[in-house]
Amino acid sequence: GQQVQQSPASLVLQEGENAELQCNFSTSLNSMQWFYQRPEGSLVSLFYNPSGTKQSGRLTSTTVIKERRSSLHISSSQITDSGTYLCAIDTNAYKVIFGKGTHLHVLP
Amino acid sequence: DAGVTQTPRHEVAEKGQTIILKCEPVSGHNDLFWYRQTKIQGLELLSYFRSKSLMEDGGAFKDRFKAEMLNSSFSTLKIQPTEPKDSAVYLCASSHRGFSNERLFFGHGTKLSVL
């Protein structure tokens, strides 16, 4: 089965609403990262977050390694937040596994 | 721009052709990854280099896919021979100290279409 599961698969928000994206792992891991993929395809790492809570602007990532889960909170969503949010883990030094992503669409 | 550079941005190949995709990692980065992205499978790891040494060769992708890192600032991914199922976006990423220690930086990708 899938080692990295993301939910929801897709999400539609009105501008200004908050969102909570989930990432669950079925295997032990060393660390994880959250990525944002723009509609045109480019990927950028949002958070390198092996554990605990990290915040950057309107984004907050919380990872609990022993519970094998991470969440990404987006507050006051904007149209420019639309795109795909991916989480990835490494199970050893070499294997980096990505989830299938949450497709976010923010409407005006 | 000192990010990860991939060329070409788009590639169209006939079935059976050999194609070579190129990647220049961020200057000074020691780790380089090649991924393939499709709508159905998502991101799949093809290969991973650490300090130019191949650490992971992607298992199922071994037979027709070969990645090389001739020097610390240049890598190629050769697909030989191409098949229509290889149509996908091929992404290159790099980091200084590995995924476990810091962020991964991605290139814009090469969109490959095999006819």
The 10s digit of each residue's pLDDT in B75-97 is: 999 999 999 999 999 999 999 88
Mean pLDDT across chain B: 91
pLDDT tens per residue, range A53-93: 999 999 999 999 888 899 999 999 999 999 999 999 987 75
Average pLDDT value for chain A: 91
Measured distance CA(B108)–CA(B92) in Å, rounded: 8
Closest to B105 in 3D by CA, of B7, B1, B21: B1
pLDDT the model gives residue A26: 87
Sheet strand arrangement including B19-24: B5-7, B19-24, B74-79, B65-71
User: Chain B closest CA to A94's CA: distance in Å?
Assistant: 6
pLDDT tens string A83-103: 999 999 987 756 788 999 999
CB B21 within 8 A of CB B90: yes
CB A6 within 8 A of CB A99: yes
Res B2: pLDDT: 60
Nearest to B19 by CA among B66, B63, B70: B66
What's the token pair of residue A47?
Answer: 């958070």
Residue A21, both tokens? 């994206």
Q: Does B100 touch chain A (CB under 8 A)?
A: yes
Q: How sure is the predictor about A21, in pLDDT bands with cuts at 50, 70 and 90? A: very high
Higher pLDDT, A17 or B72: A17
* More confident: B100 or B74: B74
- Name the DSSP class of B99: T
Closest CA to B10 of B65, B104, B88: B88
Query: In this complex, do A93 and B100 lie within 8 Å of one another by their Cβ atoms?
Result: yes
Q: Which amino acid is at B6?
A: Q
pLDDT of residue A40 exceeding 60, the answer is: yes
pLDDT category of residue B54 using cuts at 50, 70 and 90: confident
Closest CA to B112 of B1, B14, B4, B2: B14
What integer pLDDT is reported at residue A29 of this predicted model? Answer: 78
pLDDT reported for residue B94: 94
For residue A79, the SS3 value is helix
Which residue, among B99, B106, B110, would best test binding to A if mutated, counting the most A CBs under 10 Å from its CB? B99
Nearest to B84 by CA among B16, B11, B9: B16
Does B108 lie at the interface with A, CB-CB under 8 angstroms? yes
Are B104 and B95 in contact by the 8 Å Cβ rule? The answer is yes
CB contact under 8 A, A44 and B106: yes
Phi, psi (5° rounding) for residue A80? -70, -5
List, in sequence order, every residue forming a beta bridge with B23; answer none if it has no partner: B6, B75
Shortest alpha-carbon distance between residue A82 and chain B (Å): 17
Nearest by Cα to B90 from B73, B68, B113: B113
